[in-house]
Amino acid sequence: MQREFASREDLIAYVTQVFPGAKGAVSETVGGRRAALYKLAQLQPHSYGDTRNYLDGAVTGLSPYIRHGVLTLAEVRDYLQSQGHPWSVVEPFLRQLAWRDYWQKLYEQWGEGIWQDREPYKTGFTAADYGEELPEEIINGTTGLPCMDSFSQELQTTGYLHNHVRLWLAAYIIHWRRVKWQTGAAWFLMHLLDGDPASNNLSWQWVASTFSVKPYYFNQENLARYTQKKWCNSCPHLGKTCPFLGSYEQLQKRLFPHAELPQSHSRLGTRR
C-alpha cells in the first residue's frame, strides 16, 4: 500500500478509497512518534493531579499514543524521572499509567472474557434488564440534553473524550437508559483513537458495577462543577427536567430502587 503522501488530505483521500467501510470524520489528532514526543514534552505533572478531573484541566492527550505503543508506559515514566520530578508530583499521573498496566494484565488473564460481565450488576437489576441497542438519539446527539449530545458528537468527531466525560456518558447510557455496557463499550471502540478493548471494557464494567462493588453515577452538581457549567448555563432542563438533578441519595433511589447499596455516597470527585 501507498507510503508517500503529499499532504494529510492526500492520506485521508487514500484511506477513504481503500477502506470504503470506514466511516465518519477525521480527528485533528495526528498519529506518529513525532507527535507523541511533542505531547510528552508538554506534560505538566504539577497541575495534572489537581486539575485532571476538570474538563479544562492539564490532561495530557497521550492516551492514543500509549494505547498503540507509540510510547510505552515505561518510557513515559522514565521521561518523568529524567525531568527530576519528585514522587509527590508525579504520583497522580503514575497512578493513571498503572491503571493501563492493570487492565492489560487482566486482559492477559481473561482474553475475550473482558466482554463478559465479570460479576453480577449491583444495581438491583440483572443483565437481562438492560437493552442491547444504543438509542438512535444518543448516536445522533438528539437526546435534547446539551451535555450528553455534545459528548456524543465530540466522541464521533474527535475520537477523544476527557476521562470524566467518558464516565458521565457511560453512566448515562447504562444507568439512565438501562443499556448493556457491552453496547456502549463497542460504540466507544469504533471511535476512540485510544480505544483499547481492555481499558475500555473494564472501565465500562467499573461504571456498570460488574467489576466494582457499586455502580458509578453522578449528579448535575458534579457535572456542572467539573465543566464550569459549560452546558448547564444555557440548558433548558436546568432546575426543572434535568435527569441528573438531585442528591446522590435521591438519584440512588430513583435509578436503583431495588438495590441494596451503602447509604453514604460521597462522590464529590471521581475516585479514579
Partner 1 sequence: MPNYPSPTLVWVHGDSLSPTNPALLAYPDAPAVWVWDEELLNQWQISRKRIVFIYECLLELPVEIRQGNVMEKLTQLMQEYGAQKLVTTQSPSPRFQHICQELSRQFTLEILAIPPLIPPQKYLDLKRFSRYWKVAEKHIYPH
The nearest distance, CB 258 to partner 1, in angstroms, is 25
Rounded to whole angstroms, the Cα distance separating 41 from 13 reads 31
Q: Please work out the total of residues on this chain that contact partner 1, with binding judged by CB under 8 A.
A: 68
Q: Which residue, 68 or 237, is less far from partner 1 as judged by CB?
A: 68
22 binds partner 1 (CB under 8 A): yes
What values do phi and psi take at 81, rounded to 5?
Answer: -65, -40
Rounded to whole angstroms, the Cα distance separating 124 from 161 reads 29
97 binds partner 1 (CB under 8 A): yes
CB 36 within 8 Å of CB 65: yes
Question: Which residues touch 45 (CB under 8 Å, ≥6 apart)?
Answer: 80, 85, 89, 90, 92, 93
Name the residue with cell 506534560: 43
Rounded to whole angstroms, the Cα distance separating 264 from 262 reads 6
Of 82, 108, 239, 240, which lies in the binding site for partner 1, with binding defined by CB under 8 A? 108
Q: Which residue, 85 or 237, is less far from partner 1 as judged by CB?
A: 85
Segment near partner 1 (CB under 8 A); pick from 53-61, 154-162, 163-171, 217-225: 154-162
SS3 label, residue 131: strand
SS3 label, residue 179: strand
Q: Which residue, 141 or 146, is less far from partner 1 as judged by CB?
A: 141
Of 10, 50, 190, 257, which lies in the binding site for partner 1, with binding defined by CB under 8 A? 190
The nearest distance, CB 116 to partner 1, in angstroms, is 13
SS3 label, residue 83: coil
Site of interaction with partner 1 (CB under 8 A): 1-3, 5, 8, 11-12, 15-16, 18-19, 21-27, 29-35, 64, 68-75, 77, 80-81, 86-87, 90-91, 94-95, 97-99, 101-102, 104-109, 111-112, 156, 158-159, 186, 189-193, 195, 197-198
